[in-house]
């Protein structure tokens, strides 16, 4: 479904991604690990179409079509979903209104009827429970005054409602306590299906205890320096990044 070929990207003239190659097939779960500053968020942002980043070389195909030519909202409607590492607040816009607008935009794109306020409310309430959020969160401004953990669960809530084909999760596990981590992992596992793929960006291996990946890639200095199966994550946990010749300012957390 997604082919990334020799992808280079820069921000403010500085090259961050220096030649990424990655194939993701339907049903697969890929984990991208790597120290801070290695370019994980940059890769996620470039795939989603953040215009702050400039693609300088390479290509990305989604189902054989050039993804990089498309506007952010078109990519989203084609099924690319990004759970943000730092979700932004939109004061005054209720989460409910935001979610309904998004879900209906997708539905229109898919040739489905828009959901009425009542039907959407019902769906949204059920889904908030699934990620252990109080339905009262639907009435609050988008991410307005949410705690770190609530923001992350809100991202998963959006993924569940929007039913993406490829969900990119940028450090959705960071800053979560063990219970919240479990809730997020359950949400992601609920998303898994033979038609869907997940690209999980994480600094730590502990999330991978709950969401077992098919492939693990190590990103360092803007390149994938090693790929393997889930055992690679365990090895990283035990030995840190040092044995791959990578410096990491933070210690890899024991899972």
Partner 1 sequence: MANTDKQVNELIKREYEHGFVTEIEAETFEPGLNEDIIGRLSAIKKEPQFMLDWRLKAYRRWLEMDEPNWAHVGYPKIDYNAISYYSAPKRKEDMPQSLDDVDPELLKTYEKLGIPLHEREKLAGVAVDAVFDSVSVATTFKEPLAKAGVIFCSISEAIQDYPELVQKYLGSVVPAGDNFFAGLNSAVFSDGTFVYVPKGVRCPMELSTYFRINAANTGQFERTLIIADEGSYVSYLEGCTAPMRDENQLHAAVVELVALDDAQIKYSTVQNWYPGDENGKGGIFNFVTKRGACIGKNSKISWTQVETGSAVTWKYPSCVLRGENSVGEFYSVALTNNYQQADTGTKMVHLGKNTSSTIISKGISAGRSSNAYRGLVKFGPGAEGARNFTQCDSLLIGDQCAAHTFPYIESKNKGAIVEHEATTSKVSDEQMFLCRQRGIDPEQAVSMIVNGFCKEVFKELPMEFAVEAGKLLEVSLEGSVG
Ligand X SMILES: Nc1ncnc2c1ncn2[C@@H]1O[C@H](COP(=O)(O)OP(=O)(O)O)[C@@H](O)[C@H]1O
Shortest reach from residue 42's CB to partner 1, in Å: 14
The tokens for 205 are: 């291996």
Angle, to 10 degrees, between the axis of helix 148-162 and the axis of helix 95-109?
A: 30
Q: Is 178 in the site for ligand X (CB under 6 A)?
A: no
Q: Is 223 in the site for partner 1 (CB under 8 A)?
A: no
Binder of residue 11, out of Mg ion, partner 1, ligand X, none (CB less than 5 to 8 A by kind)? ligand X
Q: How many residues of this chain bind ligand X (CB under 6 A)? A: 12
Binder of residue 36, out of partner 1, ligand X, Mg ion, none (CB less than 5 to 8 A by kind)? ligand X
Binder of residue 81, out of Mg ion, partner 1, ligand X, none (CB less than 5 to 8 A by kind)? partner 1
Binder of residue 39, out of Mg ion, partner 1, ligand X, none (CB less than 5 to 8 A by kind)? ligand X
Q: Is 72 in the site for partner 1 (CB under 8 A)?
A: yes
Q: Is 93 in the site for partner 1 (CB under 8 A)?
A: yes
Shortest reach from residue 222's CB to ligand X, in Å: 8
CB of 21 closer than 8 Å to CB of 62: no
Q: What is the 3-state secondary structure (H, E, C) of the chain?
A: CEEEEEEEEEECCEEEEEEEEEEECCCCEEEEECCCCCCHHHHHHHHHCCCCCEEEEEEEEECCEECCCCCHHHHHHCCEEEECCCCCCEEEEEHHHHHHHHHHHHHHHCCCCCCCHHHHHHHHHHHHHHCCCCHHHHCCEECCCCCHHHHHHHHHHHHHHHCCCEEEEECCCCCCCHHHHHHHHHHHHHHCCCCCEEEEEECCCCHHHHCCCCEEEEEECCEEEEEECHHHHHHHHHHCCHHHCCCCCCCCCCC
From candidates 73, 119, 250, 253, binder to partner 1 by CB under 8 A? 73
Q: Is 41 in the site for Mg ion (CB under 5 A)?
A: yes
Residues 2-21 that bind ligand X (CB under 6 A): 11-12, 16
Shortest reach from residue 249's CB to partner 1, in Å: 25
From candidates 34, 35, 49, 222, binder to partner 1 by CB under 8 A? 49
Binder of residue 68, out of partner 1, Mg ion, ligand X, none (CB less than 5 to 8 A by kind)? none
Residues that bind Mg ion (CB under 5 A): 40-41, 85
Residues that bind ligand X (CB under 6 A): 11-12, 16, 34, 36-42, 52
């Amino acid at each position: 479904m997604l082919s990334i070929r020799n992808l280079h990207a820069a921000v403010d003239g500085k090259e961050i991604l220096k030649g990424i190659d990655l194939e993701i097939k339907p049903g697969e779960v890929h984990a991208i690990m790597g120290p801070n500053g290695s370019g994980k968020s940059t890769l996620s942002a470039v795939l989603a179409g953040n215009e702050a980043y400039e693609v300088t070389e390479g290509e990305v195909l989604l189902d054989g079509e050039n993804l990089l030519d498309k506007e952010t909202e078109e990519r989203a409607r084609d099924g690319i979903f990004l759970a943000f590492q730092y979700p932004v607040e939109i004061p005054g816009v209720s989460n409910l209104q935001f979610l309904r607008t998004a879900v209906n935009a997708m539905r229109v794109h898919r040739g489905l009827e828009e959901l009425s306020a009542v039907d959407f409310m019902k769906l949204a309430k059920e889904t908030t429970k699934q990620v252990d959020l109080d339905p009262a969160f639907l009435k609050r401004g988008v991410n307005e005054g949410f705690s770190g953990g609530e923001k992350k669960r809100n991202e998963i809530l959006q993924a569940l409602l929007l039913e993406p084909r490829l969900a990119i999760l940028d450090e959705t596990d960071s800053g979560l306590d063990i219970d919240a981590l479990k809730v997020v992992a359950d949400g992601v596992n609920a998303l898994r299906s033979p038609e869907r793929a997940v690209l999980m960006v994480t600094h730590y291996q502990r999330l991978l205890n709950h969401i077992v990946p098919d492939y693990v890639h190590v990103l360092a200095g803007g390149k994938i320096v090693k790929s393997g199966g889930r055992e690679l994550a365990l090895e990283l946990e035990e030995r840190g990044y040092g044995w791959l010749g990578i410096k990491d300012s933070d210690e890899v957390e024991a899972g």
